Chains A and B, each alone.
Chain A
């Protein structure tokens, strides 16, 4: 028995899977202590489940993310090689905005006065140039203890080649009662700024996360929960104890769970290797991600302006959502966003005092939202307020309210189209081959128009769009990524070193999987390596083919595919080796919904002349011709003229173009 639980800022969503059946539950989040809503939801579901089974809880949480974004993490000290204490303050020497005279850099997680140097030095060959004395370790720990810190991060130059100095400091610090994150454990890869930043981020969020998970694990045992796993940014989950210590791997837990849920649903609907563009449009922003058979990972992420170089699902965010405000700029042109009305006052039609026209107001005015069905009936929208706000904008443009609303929607759609082009066209993919997978409260109203602009042939709106992320939780395997920079020429004499590195990483990963309860038969190990041509400063990750030579051939091939050319005569180097260890869990799947007999149920007439269908009344096989509106508790789907909708056997809405 599995319970998936996704905690967002507003709602906590849960699904329970037991012997092929699925139960869902949604309740308000409890931001003062997120675990309260989680536990309440678990209790509600286990009652529903008519079973007293003992579930495993798989959880996606924003606890670490919020601690980082809101700068509410632990008080951290950083230890670096002497002379490099300013590594976080200097960063890459660049500024985030080219033309903004008020530009600021995100505040480093550790202020300069808590960054300490120790006298030691390792060369780029891993040779110790200057040894680290015990007296030096004492000195730096004494200095740190005078600063009253909650966690210590250690990131010394070239520690991925010779971790002994970091290990000695960590041991000494731990024996003095400190919580420690060291770079040779968190991210043993070269590029000192990114490694120090990632290690400091872990030290910063781990105490907060460990506290939360410790409490949750303890309290949930009373409700029969036998184990807690946490969804990581890499599209897998990890046992709570591991996630607490490596909390930096959970910074995209929530968005990753959404993409994982989308992939799981699409695999049932379209086959094992679907081509998807996921489109999650919320109130203030929209997340998009591209899935070409499987989700793409990136090691280039930043969270809240802090580089975090652990593998994460590649998710792109744009500041466009239902709350984006339409306005006229200083040059007299209509624009939408990036300013948003936020949760308060929200769009004018929320009736909370907002007067500026938003995307939601434009949708309501055009009859694309049913005023009574918003947020599952928790809120009634005020069409008059929307009309006032949009008409005011139209007056300044010499347009009717309707025309102004249409223009605003056209602009917000083109803003989102640009975001999708970044992850598709700009990365060499043709959107015409992809299905747009829409979830999130506001997405269904825009998905078909966006698909038109991008020429995507199909849109999917999943069953249970409101709990898709929780579904992503229960479908996750246990995954642990590990890596080490080796920086070797791709030639025969490097083989022994490579083998040792892969062997050590694999052994450690297998031990962890065994501890998590996975038999060797349920363990999968994938080896890969980052290669580049000598002289290049960027790497390509390719699967390890068991030996150097075939791997280098795969690298040439990958280089040609990605960049259009390869140079077989140039020397290659193997920069970093990677091990992905997977504990394969029992697969779960959506059960089929009831088959419809005959045609779709009779619609009601909506305010904009659209036929309105209640999604709860739809059955598998039902076909609805556009223009129509499908309403359900937490989202609304618009099927425009020229599009038609079919309900698939598992209850997802498959919307396709009927006219060319």
Chain B
């Protein structure tokens, strides 16, 4: 055990951390419930694509209601950007932003930031942030995640601005935003839901300050952050010191030729880590560029996994994630690279695709240090499928968006899961029956692809096949990865099978690119096959490895 008196990050009162941890996380969770309950759009209500966070007066993350990994490192950046722009942010003020180059990640994610004051006091006792994925913020195509070359094509960009001043919403700013989306009513409703979440959070913080005292809360927040830091340092301390390097690539950016390399080196020294992406390719014309906030989130996700994966067969520890957890981790990103893009680059795919590859390289590096813990590569893509067109049944336009699961990488002690969302996303699928009721589409097959998981002592998870029939004319946009490169295996395990995209037009089947847009007509088809996960360990003649129904054929078959 640590020696509190020797430790510069000692806890004032270790017996109170859990109690106040419960208090703070329940404030963040109640903000989240308020947002989810009053939001308008299904993307927020049903897919729960939002997060809420409680920060201390200086903007340090105290508690985050955990919904979306890609928001982990991004929320503190939003708070920094908002408080940096408005150092005098006062009671009743709320900052709004979505600029990926100033605290955002990609344009559909709109973040609000506010401060909490005890009535009559001038010093803020806390800050609050809420981030929600809005279904449309303008741009070239519905959904604001087009295959674009510049950010201005992707949608309406909001630098930090004050949406509310002293309790009054700035209608000028709101109407400017609403005039630039395809669904202004829904946007207005969702923003009001976010504002309501901030009121809920502020009320709970003030109540807590009245009950326990503002100074006491401040002290306890300090303890929570110190505790988070100690937890993460304990995790890193167990990683052998050394430099661990890894490199992998994206199939391409959909515009220019050739693969895109992502490289990282993880330096472990004592209880601290440096993750350096030197050697990563420069930013690209196509929209796979990730901004720094996305990269931070992906790195933090990897270390959060180390923190929350139980050593033995136990329930995962109920560990509170806070800003302290990430103090021991320094992230270096070469400027204007695909992991730290700048304006005017397009960035929509950085959030959903490149973030997965960043996880692949960071975990790949860590696997050398922790061979008994880290899994082989998972499918490494979200398989974004957007379909838009005219619904002749209801005489109206429709847009449909889904992401597809695939193979999870094999673990050192067990196989990867089949047909599952991996790493940076965990949203639910759309049921076949729900989809056919709602859109002029029919699902022909939805099944696990036997043999697609990488071979190994433990096989990688298998990908899935989703075959659609289009009942009318429509445009299909695919934003997918791992159609050429394959998810790597570890410790002698083989790679997972790559994914594959095909269309059927006039009865003839043909392959289409990983990132593309195609027109389909009535009776045409789309077949998306998602990648399998990598295998782990040298394949043997063991039953599992040979079982053709479950994994890839092992090499000795």
**Residues of chain A having any CB pair with chain B under 8 Å:** 83-87, 89-90, 92-95, 97-105, 112-113, 123-124, 157-158, 190-194, 319, 328-336, 338-339, 396-397, 399, 403-404, 407, 410-411, 414-415, 417-418, 421, 425-426, 428, 487, 535-538, 562-565
The distance from the CB of A460 to the nearest CB of chain B, in whole angstroms, is 25
Whether A83 contacts B447 by the Cβ 8 Å rule is yes
| Nearest A residue to B467, CB-CB | A83
Whether A565 contacts B234 by the Cβ 8 Å rule is no
Bound-state Cα–Cα, A185 to B230, Å: 55
Name 11 extra pairs, CB < 8 A, besides A124-B436, A330-B234, A332-B1. A93-B419, A97-B316, A99-B305, A99-B308, A102-B309, A113-B549, A123-B436, A192-B431, A334-B15, A339-B315, A565-B40
Bound-state Cα–Cα, A597 to B500, Å: 84
Given A99-B304, A101-B411, A86–B419 Cβ distance below 8 Å? yes
Given A86-B448, A99-B309, A101-B309, A421–B26 Cβ distance below 8 Å? yes
Kindly state whether residue B339 has any CB partner on chain A within 8 Å: no
Bound-state Cα–Cα, A370 to B417, Å: 50
Which secondary structure dominates where chain B touches chain A?
A: mixed
Instruction: Give the chain A neighbours of B301 by CB distance below 8 A.
Output: 99
The distance from the CB of B21 to the nearest CB of chain A, in whole angstroms, is 8
Taking CB atoms and an 8 Å cut-off, the chain B residues in 433-464 that contact chain A are: 433-434, 436-438, 442-448, 464
The distance from the CB of A56 to the nearest CB of chain B, in whole angstroms, is 41
Bound-state Cα–Cα, A417 to B15, Å: 17
Write the B405-426 contact mask toward A (1 if CB under 8 angstroms, else 0). Answer: 1001001011001111110001
Instruction: Give the chain B neighbours of A157 by CB distance below 8 A.
Output: 432-433
| Nearest B residue to A99, CB-CB | B308
Bound-state Cα–Cα, A565 to B38, Å: 7
Bound-state Cα–Cα, A98 to B235, Å: 18
The distance from the CB of A199 to the nearest CB of chain B, in whole angstroms, is 14
Could you say which of B29-37, B250-258, B473-481 contacts chain A? B29-37
Instruction: Give the chain B neighbours of A564 by CB distance below 8 A.
Output: 37-38, 193, 196
Whether A397 contacts B15 by the Cβ 8 Å rule is yes
Whether A426 contacts B429 by the Cβ 8 Å rule is no
| Nearest B residue to A575, CB-CB | B437
Whether B29 contacts A426 by the Cβ 8 Å rule is yes
Bound-state Cα–Cα, A334 to B16, Å: 7
Q: Which 4 A-B pairs have the closest CB atoms?
A: A333-B17, A93-B405, A83-B445, A407-B15
Taking CB atoms and an 8 Å cut-off, the chain B residues in 1-38 that contact chain A are: 1-2, 4, 11, 14-19, 21-23, 25-26, 29-30, 33, 37-38
Instruction: Give the chain B neighbours of A84 by CB distance below 8 A.
Output: 432, 445-447
Instruction: Give the chain B neighbours of A331 by CB distance below 8 A.
Output: 11, 17, 227-228, 230-231, 234
Contact of B434 among A190, A335, A425, A562 (CB under 8 A): A190
Whether B17 contacts A334 by the Cβ 8 Å rule is yes
Contact of A414 among B22, B404, B434 (CB under 8 A): B22
Contact of B231 among A124, A329, A487, A536 (CB under 8 A): A329
Whether B19 contacts A190 by the Cβ 8 Å rule is no
Kindly state whether residue B66 has any CB partner on chain A within 8 Å: yes
Bound-state Cα–Cα, A99 to B26, Å: 20
| Nearest B residue to A103, CB-CB | B417
Residue of A99, A104, A105, A335 most packed against chain B (CB within 10 A): A99
Taking CB atoms and an 8 Å cut-off, the chain B residues in 174-216 that contact chain A are: 189, 193, 196
18 CB-based A-B contacts, threshold 8 Å: A86-B419, A93-B419, A94-B405, A95-B417, A95-B421, A98-B66, A99-B308, A99-B316, A101-B373, A102-B413, A157-B433, A338-B315, A339-B315, A407-B15, A411-B18, A414-B23, A426-B30, A564-B196
Whether B414 contacts A104 by the Cβ 8 Å rule is yes
Contact of A396 among B1, B417, B427, B430 (CB under 8 A): B1
The distance from the CB of A577 to the nearest CB of chain B, in whole angstroms, is 16
Whether A328 contacts B1 by the Cβ 8 Å rule is yes
Write the B68-84 contact mask toward A (1 if CB under 8 angstroms, else 0). Answer: 01000000000000000
Instruction: Give the chain B neighbours of A414 by CB distance below 8 A.
Output: 18-19, 22-23
Instruction: Give the chain B neighbours of A99 by CB distance below 8 A.
Output: 69, 301, 304-305, 307-309, 316
Instruction: Give the chain A neighbours of B426 by CB distance below 8 A.
Output: 94-95, 98
Whether B231 contacts A330 by the Cβ 8 Å rule is yes
The distance from the CB of A364 to the nearest CB of chain B, in whole angstroms, is 19
Contact of A104 among B227, B231, B417 (CB under 8 A): B417
Write the B247-273 contact mask toward A (1 if CB under 8 angstroms, else 0). Answer: 000000000000000000000000000
